[in-house]
Structure formats: C-alpha cells, structure tokens
Amino acid sequence: MGDSVIEMKQVTTRFGDHVVHAGIDLEVRRAEVFALIGGSGSGKSTLLREMILLQRPDAGAIRVLGIDLMGIDDANAQSLRQRWGVLFQHGGLFGSLTVLENVGLPLREHTMLDDALIDEIAAWKIEMAGLAPEVGAQYPSELSGGMLKRASLARALALDPELLFLDEPTAGLDPISAGSFDELVLTLRDLFGLTIVMVTHDLDLLWRVADRVAVLGDGVVQGVGSMAELSKMDNPSIRPYFDGARGRAAQSDLAARVDEQHLKELTSKPR
C-alpha cells in the first residue's frame, strides 16, 4: 500500500433522496495529520464514520490499512478496529468507571494481560495524554472539559494504534486548553509516527497541526492541500476559511507564533 493509509474512491452516500457524498476521492498518507472540514451537512462526520466501520456508504471503495472495508467480515473488522483509536466528540467514556478503568477497558476486552499490568499500562497512557497520575482514580463527571478530552485520548491510545481518529477534538475547550491539546497531537504524531485523521471547525488547530486539509462541499471534495495552499485557491467553498475575521485572526496568530519561535531559536544559539 506504500504510504497510503486510507484510500477512498468514488464514495457515494445517500440518506433517502438526499445525496451527502457524490463520488468522494481521498487519500490519507502515513504519519500525516489529515483534517476534514466543510459546512454543516457537508458529510464530514459521516465520512469519518465510514472510515471506522460505523456506517457503510451506498457505493464506492474504502481501504484502511490495506483492508477493503466494503467486503470485510466480522472477524477481520474486529481485528482492524484494534489497529486504530477513536476520540469521539463528547468523549464517550463510561460514567460508572474511573478514568483508569475506562482507559484499561480496551486492554481487558482485546488482550489476555493480567489486571495489574493493564492498570500499569493504563496509568502510562494517562500520563502520556498529559494528565496527573491521580486523575486515574477520578470519574468522568469530575473532570473539566480539557481533562475529559485527554482522558478520552488516553483510552484511544490504549492499544498502541497505528491510526488515530479525532472528532472535533477541541470543541468546547477554552483557548488555553485547546492550544495545549494542539501541541499534544503534534507530539504524539512525532513520537510514535501516528497517522491522524480529524474532523474540526477549529481554525487555529488547522493552521497549527494539519499537514493537509480536505474541504467538503456539495457532495464532493472542493480542494485538498495545506492551509497555505488552500488559502491561494479561488473557490467559494474554500474562501470563507480565510477571508472572514476568524480566518484572518488564525493566520495572524500562526505568523506571530512562528516569529516568536524563530526569535527563541536565534537567541538560544551559542555565540
């Protein structure tokens, strides 16, 4: 499969008479952060659900990690799911379980490891997600929004996935929490070579984290590229991400951070 981790060809999805996808072609490359954006009803979340076997398109072909999803049987589907992790928009943690128990749950379901080792691995994943060790003893209802996202990410990482799916990972977070989550995503990609696919409306996240972005609109892919490349495209489905006040602010913020980092690098060099 080379560098292709996900391949979608002529994917068509309908809800009754309404066509959501009218022949989607996409490729996600190994170890990149790939984002899906588009207006409400453009089919971003539906496309993500089709990638993770929660929904089947009406036509087309989807291959994930070299496996054809359209004709997959239950046994192979179960095996494939163990190779990816998913962070759902609202976390999806079980409220009756502690964070440590939530993170360890995939390990208890899919491995033969003993409880002590599972707890040790779960604690490591919690730390990896940037949470203090004592958070493992807390319940989801006791966590802030940012902590809940990190706990959900720790569970998504429990089985050491090759592929990570993030659905609106910074939705509902304050700017500081969202910014630290951005850095965490990049760290995980760089440390472990993860391929990351995310659906987001967060322009700061797109500029800071995404290697490539696909813009969905009118049932098709309107454009694919880095945010810098998309910013040069004269397409009415793409321009609102760059011409509005929020789009300009995100670009200015990124430029300021780049200048600040460059200054730090210059001043830290030995004379």
Q: How far apart are CA 184 and CA 129, in angstroms?
A: 7
Residue the block writes with tokens 């902590």: 147
Q: Give the rounded distance of the alpha carbon of 19 from its chain centre.
A: 25
Q: Is 15 helix (H, G, I), strand (E, B) or coil?
A: strand
pLDDT tens by residue, 163-183: 999 999 998 888 888 889 889
Residues 203/246, Cβ–Cβ less than 8 Å: yes
Q: How far apart are CA 221 and CA 230, in angstroms?
A: 12
Q: How far apart are CA 14 and CA 27, in angstroms?
A: 21
Q: Is the full-model pTM beyond 0.75?
A: yes
Pairing label, strands 84-87, 163-167: parallel
Residues 109/78, Cβ–Cβ less than 8 Å: no
pLDDT tens by residue, 203-257: 999 999 999 999 999 999 999 999 999 999 999 889 988 886 555 555 555 555 5
* DSSP one-letter code for 88: B
pLDDT tens by residue, 35-66: 999 988 889 999 999 999 999 999 999 999 99
CATH architecture, domain defined by 29-53+80-268 = 3-Layer(aba) Sandwich (3.40)
CA end-to-end span of the chain: 48
Q: Tell me what the mean pLDDT of segment 84-105 comes to.
A: 93
Domain ranges of the chain: 29-53+80-268
Residues 216/222, Cβ–Cβ less than 8 Å: yes
Q: Tell me what the mean pLDDT of segment 93-118 comes to.
A: 96
Please, which residues bridge with residue 29 across strands? 4
- In this prediction, residue 259 has a pLDDT band, given cuts at 50, 70 and 90, of very low
